[in-house]
Amino acid sequence: MTDLVERVREVLPSVRRDLEGLVRIESVWADPDRQGEVHRSAQAVAELLAQAGFDDVRTVSDSGAPAVIARYPAPPGAPTVLLYAHHDVQPEGDHEQWVSPPFEPTERDGRLYGRGSADDKAGIATHLAAFRAHGGRPPVGVTVFVEGEEESGSPSLGRLLAAHRDTLAADVIVIADSDNWSTDIPALTVTLRGMADCVVEVATLDHGLHSGLWGGVIPDALSVLVRLLASLHDDEGNVAVAGLHEGTAAPVDYPPERVRTDSGLLEGVSEIGSGSVPQRLWAKPAITVIGIDTTPVAAASNTLIPRARAKISMRVAPGGDAAAHLDALEAHLRRHTPWGAQVDVTRGELGQPYAVTTTGPVYDAARSAFRQAWGTDPVEMGMGGSIPFIAEFAAAFPQAAILVTGVEDPATQAHSVNESLDLGVLERAAITEALFLTELA
């Protein structure tokens, strides 16, 4: 057992170098100009897995981003574990706000900075470390599945699961793409919210008008849009759309001071919504406006804006149905558009929420591995973010036990500037996963 811990520590420097190599690849699938980079990162992942000792490594795709599948067959009588991560990353945002360049992995104070250093190239690193620590011969079957379009909502994942069903079939699925409670306390993610988004466009005119000649009589589309968007919350900041689902959060104490520290909320700005923090983050719906197209200020003239649109993103609490939530949102938007303005709703992505019950031998094995690696049991926490394909995995392999782990921590800043990985967390996560493979055997 302790030998295995030692072996993880031995392989970690090489895993760290490999992670840095992956971070240097700008695998932003959402950016059409960088899809070639996503092919390059799939190639790099495939090479790393082959070097680690998997002899069956393939890169697959179905009209979407390339995914990598590597297989190590189960010894007779042993179960098979599917280890998941994704090699695509979010766009890096404003380069000016990065302390070190986003695609140049840089260590500061025990953290490795760079886009994807945590979300989710560290998930790939964790799987590599666990497999290498076992000398490429773990006591269970291991299939590694590294997807390339998670950050775009995994549109072709369902087809990949169907096409490679037999290759991917497993008894246990480990999804290393979530958070830890802190850098000292691990977490098992037991619920994730789902999501649904849409673009709402309002129009009052088919051309702009002189705002002095017509202002006061003719409504401009931007004023219509902001009133409509304002109707999505009540004064307290609770979502005001009728018919949405609310569940009950995992019973975890989340100190309110943590909200301020972890989010970086500016002085004087208050939280929104009612109920405990876990309840609002994990078990209630949320609605955010994530983009608006209208006349930019620099181009503003005294003109009534004829047409404007916004993208709205909604999180769906576990127990709710994403499609039904989008229906409710769409109905709200049509009903609340003021002054008879024309409204058009384009429905976007849907992802179902997920909840798991962590009883049974597989979860006991996981808790035991966590205890040995971190010296403490994992917190069973919910998650406000979404990993929509988990529901698809669960549907494709209903017998499999699904574990949602991860290498992020509250300071990671996934999707934001200055994303980083705590290197101690990477080590403990790798040790946990290596031990877990042994415990399962």
Binding residues for ligand BES, per CB under 6 A?
119-120, 150-151, 153, 177-179, 195, 351, 383, 385-388, 408, 414
150 flagged as catalytic: yes
When binding is defined by CB under 5 A, the residue of 177, 409, 419, 422 that contacts Mn ion is: 177
Asked if 86 and 388 count as a contact pair (C-beta separation under 8 A), the reply is no
When binding is defined by CB under 5 A, the residue of 18, 37, 119, 147 that contacts Mn ion is: 119
d(CA 175, CA 25): 22
Binding window for Mn ion (CB under 5 A); candidates: 170-178, 204-212, 313-321, 422-430 = 170-178
Cβ of residue 386: shortest distance to ligand BES, in angstroms? 4
Which of these is catalytic: 26, 119, 149, 150? 150
d(CA 4, CA 133): 7
- For ligand BES, the closer of residues 307 and 428 by Cβ is 428
| Residue nearest to ligand BES as judged by C-beta position | 385
Cβ of residue 118: shortest distance to Mn ion, in angstroms? 8
The DSSP element (H or E) to which 57 belongs, if any, is: strand 56-60
Q: What are phi and psi of 192, to 5 degrees?
A: -130, 145
- For ligand BES, the closer of residues 193 and 332 by Cβ is 193
- For Mn ion, the closer of residues 177 and 409 by Cβ is 177
361 Cβ contact list (under 8 Å, min separation 6): none
- For ligand BES, the closer of residues 302 and 416 by Cβ is 416
Binding window for Mn ion (CB under 5 A); candidates: 21-29, 173-181, 184-192, 299-307 = 173-181
Edge-to-edge strands, sheet with 67-72: 56-60, 67-72, 141-147, 80-86, 172-176, 401-405
Cβ of residue 408: shortest distance to ligand BES, in angstroms? 5
SS (H, E, C) 357-405: CCCCHHHHHHHHHHHHHHCCCCEEEEECCCCCHHHHHHHHCCCCEEEEE
Cβ of residue 112: shortest distance to ligand BES, in angstroms? 17
28 Cβ contact list (under 8 Å, min separation 6): 34, 37, 38, 88, 89, 90, 91, 92, 151
Long-range contacts from 163-168, C-beta under 8 angstroms, 24+ separation: 163/60, 163/62, 164/60, 164/69, 165/396, 167/69, 167/71, 167/143, 168/69, 168/82, 168/143, 168/396, 168/397
3-state secondary structure of 72: strand
Cβ of residue 4: shortest distance to Mn ion, in angstroms? 27
According to DSSP, residue 32 is labeled G
Does 408 participate in binding Mn ion (rule CB under 5 A)? no
Binding window for Mn ion (CB under 5 A); candidates: 167-175, 176-184, 253-261, 373-381 = 176-184
- For ligand BES, the closer of residues 171 and 422 by Cβ is 422
Burial class for 63, CB neighbours closer than 10 Å (0-12, 13-18, 19+): exposed
CB atoms within 10 A of CB 1: 9
Interface size with Mn ion, residues (CB under 5 A): 3
The one-letter code for the residue type at 29 is: W
When binding is defined by CB under 5 A, the residue of 92, 120, 197, 422 that contacts Mn ion is: 120
- For ligand BES, the closer of residues 160 and 343 by Cβ is 160
Nearest to 139 by CA among 219, 86, 76, 216: 76
Which of these is catalytic: 18, 88, 147, 408? 88
Asked if 306 and 335 count as a contact pair (C-beta separation under 8 A), the reply is no
- For Mn ion, the closer of residues 119 and 433 by Cβ is 119
88 flagged as catalytic: yes
Cβ of residue 299: shortest distance to ligand BES, in angstroms? 31
Cβ of residue 301: shortest distance to ligand BES, in angstroms? 36
Q: Which does 383 bind (CB under 5 to 8 A by kind): ligand BES, Mn ion, none?
A: ligand BES
Binding site residues, Mn ion, CB under 5 A: 119-120, 177
Catalytic residues: 88, 150
